[in-house]
Amino acid sequence: MINLWRSLRFLVVSVALLGLIYPLIVTGIGQLLFPYQANGSMVKLNGRVVGSILIAQAVTNPGLFHPRPSAVSYSANGSGGSNLGPTTPALIREVKNNIQAVEQQNPGTPVSSIPPDMVESSGSGLDPDISIQNAMIQVPRISKATGLSRRDLITLINQDKRGRFLGIWGEPMVNVMQLNLGIEKLLGR
């Protein structure tokens, strides 16, 4: 009985310490030192919050870079992957549809040049990055739709490109939101 009483007292003390004090102190420090990150790395355009640099959003406009396919339609309040296995017919259908979309939007792209990240769904459905090859394939389309020169767009990709961390961790890639904000800037919007 004495131990039940102690357990209840421990519950109160430990919930206060681990479940309230600890996260609230981290929240306080985070908000103080890193307010941008702590609130979700939100980015603004002309003073309006247009999204998070870390979260992919639906882009179908031919004049902007498109993110990777999302199994959850880019719903940032319901993340997830397709969970389709490698021998499942639905996976083949999904990838086939994605290839058709890429070919339709970027005419003249040979299938063999399409990188897997461009037609296979991401794990979170919100992957904010694309491979360099993925971005390059989109350049002619964006150039045509916006009137920006291909060279300007390639310069943009090269500016925003990020390599492997310390040369060993991760993959070379580029952030879609950053690219699109760059396009908006070039267009003076």
Partner 1 sequence: MTCSGTIGILAVVALILALAIPLGGYIYRVFTGQKSFLEPVYAPIERVIYKLVGINPSTDMDWKGYVKVWLLVQFVMAIFVYLIFTLQGRLPLNPDGIKGMSWDLAFNTAASFITNTNWQSYAGEQSMSYLGQMVAITYLQFTSAAAGVVAVIAFIRGIVANKGKTLGNFWVDYIKVHTRILLPLAFIFAVAFVGLGLPETLQGAQIVHTLQGGTQTISRGPVASLEAIKQLGTNGGGYFNANSAHPYEDPRAITTVLEILAMALIPAALIATFGKFIGDRKQAVVLYVFLTGLLLLGAFTIYASETSGNPILQHVLGISGQNMEGKEVRFGESLSSIFTAVTTAFTTGAVNNMHDSLTPLGGMVPIVFMMFNSVFGGIGVGLLNILMFLIIAVFLSGLMVGRTPEIFGKKIEAREIKLATAAMLVHPFVILVPTAIAIVTRAGTSSILNPGLHGFSEVLYAFTSGAANNGSAFAGLNGNTVFYNVAIGLVMLFGRYVSIVAMFAMAGSLVSKSVMPKTVGTLKTNTYSFGAVFLAVVIIVGALTFFPAVAVGPIGEQLQMLAGQVTQ
The nearest distance, CB 1 to partner 1, in angstroms, is 11
The nearest distance, CB 133 to partner 1, in angstroms, is 10
**Residue nearer to partner 1 on the CB measure, 11 or 151:** 11
**Residue nearer to partner 1 on the CB measure, 45 or 155:** 45
The nearest distance, CB 123 to partner 1, in angstroms, is 3
* Cα separations in angstroms, 70 against 25, 48, 57, 122, 125: 35, 25, 9, 6, 4
Backbone angles phi and psi of 22, in degrees to 5 = -60, -55
Distance CA 67, CA 11 (A): 46
The nearest distance, CB 188 to partner 1, in angstroms, is 15
Distance CA 166, CA 171 (A): 11
The H or E element that residue 7 is part of is: helix 2-14
CB 176 within 8 A of CB 165: no
